[in-house]
Amino acid sequence: MSALDIVVKRRSIRSYIPKKEIPTKILDKLKEALIWAPSAGNLQARKFYFVFKDETKSKLAQGALGQDFIARCSLVIVCCADLEKVSKTYGKRGEKLYSICDVSASIQNMLLAATENGLGTCWISAFNEAKISQIMNLSESLKPIALVTVGYPNESPEPPKRVSKEEAVEEIK
């Protein structure tokens, strides 16, 4: 499958096959995808927590405004930016922009690797940051940017409508 095929195939999955374990070999591929994303100044100012514990996943679901499907996936990844590390080089712009871009690039890499390996994912940005930080016992320098659910899909959603290429892209020649 080509890279573009994987991009087009990826969907946001909110229903997972319960209790189906993800093999270590695939988890390692997800981790590789996360760490090989580009980052501002190659600082790699990001940290990812792989959460398998049901009790913690349930708490994260509550911290994510009651999105209960979070508690029913095989894995939740808490994706964080290291603000202290990025601000040393890039100041406020690093904290407010580069950190989000860097973590987002890692997430997209991982989503595509998950899709390639038959996993479903959902990128979640709607959550109470303070609650997630408290649940995960994050240091003050780590800011949760997103949660990502991962597991074997129990649904196959149709592709959502997209704007046309002409609407999304303007060529300057």
Q: How far is CA 75 from CA 88, 137, 148, 170, in A?
A: 32, 18, 8, 39
Q: In the CATH scheme, what is the homologous superfamily, with its name and number, of domain 10-154?
A: NADH Oxidase (3.40.109.10)
Give the tens place of pLDDT for each residue, 3-43.
999 999 999 999 999 989 999 999 999 999 999 999 999 99
Beta carbons within 8 Å of 57's beta carbon, 6+ residues apart: 51, 70, 71, 72, 73, 76
Sequence spans of domains, the chain: 10-154
Give the model confidence (pLDDT) of 47-94 as tens digits.
Answer: 999 999 999 999 999 999 999 999 999 999 999 999 999 999 999 999
Please give the model's pTM, rounded to 2 decimal places. Answer: 0.97
Distance CA 54, CA 19 (A): 10
114-137: per-residue pLDDT in tens? 999 999 999 999 999 999 999 999
Separation of alpha carbons 142 and 1, rounded Å: 36
Q: Which helix (H) or strand (E) holds 88?
A: helix 83-93
